Structure 1
Amino acid sequence: MASRVVDQQQVRGMAVAGGGVKPVKKAVPDGRNRKPLGEIGNQQAVRGIEVKPNRPITSDCRNFRAQLLANAQAAAANENNKKQVCVNVNGAPAVLDELVPVKRAEAPKEVPKKLVIVKPKPKEVIEISPDTVDGLIEKAKPEKKKEGASKKKSAPTLSSVLTARSKAACGLTNKPKEVIVDIDAKDVGNDLAAVEYVEDMYKFYKLVEHENRPHDYMDSQPEINESMRAILMDWLVSVHSKFELSPESFYLTINIIDRFLSVKTVPRRELQLVGISAMLIASKYEEIWPPQVDDFVSLSDKAYSNVQILVMEKMILGKLEWTLTVPTLYVFLVRFIKAAIPDEQMENLVYYLAELGMMHYGILMYCPSMIAASAVYAAKCTLNKSPDWCDTLKLHTGFSESQLIDCSKVLVSLHAKAAKNKLQGVYKKYLSADRGAVALLTPAKSLLPPAKASGRSS
């Protein structure tokens, strides 16, 4: 049989040479010898057979795709040019021209006009009935009359001028109200000042100051007179300064003595013992380190023993029913001085006048709050502080200027006599430079009797 020649395809890993097939060594995979794969559809040519590569995208396909892209862009441009918003008068939604066919002859007439017109939102219209209009007109008429009447009243008349002049002559003109100063504004952050309760505290003090107030007891004391009381008070001023006690202790001592003498008859020889025991009680109540009983024994030149002082102390507390928390003169002085907004000189002068008053038995006819307010008023008059009395002081003291005149005159007269008085305890105390030497100030002439004022000026 004749042999048939058959073309053999080149197999991977084999090489065709002289009609024989020889094995070809595979190349070692190396990163340097790697080549990118060709198209999957391509095939290697076999000897004797021409194989064309498989190309899915041809030049005709590219042209067709470019034509589709150009058509789509042209359609989008035409769509943007033709897109029109139609506003329906009846409230129907707007549609496009492609959806609603419109004749070309009618389009340029109707459509452009509807595009430009945009109706605003409907506004609420308030209808006013004829009755309402008439009522508004009637209400407006009296206003016009009032305006005209006010214009007529504003015009000055002869009677109004005469009335104003007469009020001015009598001092009845309307003065502007004074501004009341908040004296506790600076102490808001100070817990010890008790700003939230201080007003209520002093209202309570004003109510109870008459409950523990000593009455006129000198007639009920057969062996004691006013001068003896003054001598005792003058000696206690020196004792108080000797022990360097607080002002609260001194004012409470005087209060205890007067209250005890109001309810108990005391012989003359025990009057000093009453004063010593009263200061011992006040010191125990007010001081952190009160004086000892032996200290008072030595100050009295051993006129009384320890036992006598303790017995008198027990008797005083029993008669007073252990009531020691009372509004003394010092309590009101602190508050009223603060309301006066003083300087250091005025503050020392107020205390000086108050202590001069305590030496005087006749001052007991006035309550402690009035004595304190009168001392402030007399000090302002002495230093020529203007005004003598203001709304702030009237509010916090509760007294008007006319109510303080009598008590103030008593204090100023004691001030005028202090330099020549035999009892110099208070006078020397306020002659020191530490207290501003206020004892040397000239008393207020406006509160002195005319004869004394003229005698001092001459």
Structure 2
Amino acid sequence: MASRVLVPEQPRVGGGKQKNGQAEVRNRRVLRDIGNLVIAPAVEGKPQNPITRPITRSFGAQFVGKDDTAKATIPHKKDTLKPKNEAVISPYKEESYKNGIKLKEGSSKKPNKTLTSILTARSKVACGITKKPKDLIVDIDAADVDDELAAVEYIEDIYNFNKLTEDHGRVNDYMDSQREINSKMRAILVDWLIEVHKKFELMPESLYLTVNIVDRFLSVKTVPRRELQLVSDFIAISDNAYVREQVLLMEKAILGKLEWYLTVPTPYVFLIRSIKASLPADKEMENMTFFYAELGLTNYSTIINYCPSMLAASAVYAARCTLSRSPLWTETLKHHTGYAENQLMECAKLLVSFHCGVAENKLKAVYRKYSNTERAAVALFPPASILVPV
């Protein structure tokens, strides 16, 4: 039970009595101790019980009134005796005391959370004002920890390095420098390469590296139209259109112009990682992504305007839109590709526009390849409606 508050009688000034003030003190409810009392020595000869009433603004106002009469009831410092063992309550600096101990100025102690701050935080949560927690980033390499060939310890560094160096293997717009070759002829060549690649069941990365070498060579060397196929052919594949010496001379010319710099990050390097991050990664998703990537590989504008990592990420995004995967883009994909959803829109829409006209296009290597049931016939899927250009 809280003890009754005892207020020492103060000397009267001007003969007036402070009846109202004392009555107010007696009638106020006693609050619980909140630890803001200061234990001071009592006045000699007048031992006092400690005042246990907490500090409040209204209680402090009894000592510091709004009128001159109330102010006069507080004795001046020079007229009062030096207190000993008296409970003194300071009405001025409530924050300076904690558990009856005065805190030093400049104290580094952090203030406790107030009831107001707690209620405010809860109100924001109830109203949905606070930010929702981001989706967790899935560890896509967890299943490969025991696979030494997966190089899980270095995989992030490898892809970060590929991202930093991918521009070294890119080409600028070179068609204006070619007198006999245009973008349509290049598309015919790449379409033919896709057909040959499928027929001979070559490794997937061979196709992307071949197209990269062709583009890089054409960007530094003017090639006659009759020799364009020679840039990427063997004797048997070209139906004996060239002799052995011509093939060897062209290979030597290509390697010399490219300074033997063949190990470059192609879109395929990023496709593998992006598909792995597109959970769940099934065969349908994988084939749809490669379908969009090869459509982009065939078109000159895509290769020139978008770097390999963006082409790969856009192919994954276009595939997820076409297959109605939800969500269309995740924090895991953003983390591993390095691209947000809005950054991929332009390239993804371009890839979907190629899908819209692939059935009527004269160059049908990609369409035929991915219309096969072995590749889930993804070319026959209707294009993503949300990405179809208006």
Q: Could you say if the C-alpha distance between residues 190 and 138 of structure 1 is closer, same or farther in structure 2, counting changes exceeding 3 Å? A: same
2:291 is the counterpart of 1:352 = yes
Which of 212, 218, 232 does residue 261 from structure 1 map onto? 218
What one-letter code is carried by the residue in structure 2 that aligns with 1:314?
A: K
Q: Which residue of 2 aligns with 1:415?
A: 355
Q: Distance in 1 between matches of 2:118 and 2:274?
A: 45
Identity within the alignment, %: 58
Q: Which residue of 2 aligns with 1:196?
A: 153
Q: Which residue of 1 aligns with 2:5?
A: none
2:200 is the counterpart of 1:246 = no
1:346 is displaced (CA, Å) by 0.6
2:109 is the counterpart of 1:152 = no
Q: Distance in 1 between matches of 2:209 and 2:102?
A: 71
Q: Distance in 2 between matches of 1:305 and 1:196?
A: 48
SS at the partner of 1:301? coil
SS at the partner of 1:405? helix
Q: Which residue of 1 aligns with 2:246?
A: 308
2:288 is the counterpart of 1:325 = no
Give a deviation string over 1:379-417, Cα, whole Å, max 9, x none: 111111111111111111111111111000111101111
Q: Could you say if the C-alpha distance between residues 274 and 135 of structure 1 is closer, same or farther in structure 2, counting changes exceeding 3 Å? A: closer
Q: Distance in 1 between matches of 2:98 and 2:327?
A: 57
1:306 is displaced (CA, Å) by 0.8
2:137 is the counterpart of 1:180 = yes
What one-letter code is carried by the residue in structure 1 that aligns with 2:174?
A: Y
Ranges in structure 1 where 5+ consecutive residues have no aligned partner? 1-129, 277-295, 451-458
Q: Could you say if the C-alpha distance between residues 139 and 434 of structure 1 is closer, same or farther in structure 2, counting changes exceeding 3 Å? A: farther
Q: Distance in 2 between matches of 1:146 and 1:226?
A: 69
Q: How does 1:16-415 map to 2 (within 5 A)?
A: 137-138=100-101, 150-155=114-119, 173-276=130-233, 296-341=234-279, 342-364=281-303, 365-415=305-355
Q: Which residue of 1 aligns with 2:83?
A: none
More helix by share: 1
Q: Distance in 2 between matches of 1:352 and 1:175?
A: 35
1:155 is displaced (CA, Å) by 4.2
TM-score by length of 1: 0.60
What one-letter code is carried by the residue in structure 1 that aligns with 2:354?
A: L
SS at the partner of 2:358? helix
The structure having more radius of gyration, on CA atoms, is 1
Q: Could you say if the C-alpha distance between residues 205 and 155 of structure 1 is closer, same or farther in structure 2, counting changes exceeding 3 Å? A: closer
2:381 is the counterpart of 1:424 = no
Give a deviation string over 1:201-221, Cα, whole Å, max 9, x none: 011101110012111111110
Equivalenced residues, count = 289
Q: Could you say if the C-alpha distance between residues 330 and 156 of structure 1 is closer, same or farther in structure 2, counting changes exceeding 3 Å? A: closer
1:153 is displaced (CA, Å) by 3.6
Give a deviation string over 1:138-159, Cα, whole Å, max 9, x none: 269x9xx966x722344469xx
What one-letter code is carried by the residue in structure 1 that aligns with 2:214?
A: I
SS at the partner of 2:294? helix
TM-score by length of 2: 0.70
What one-letter code is carried by the residue in structure 2 that aligns with 1:390?
A: T
Ranges in structure 2 where 5+ consecutive residues have no aligned partner? 1-39, 42-96
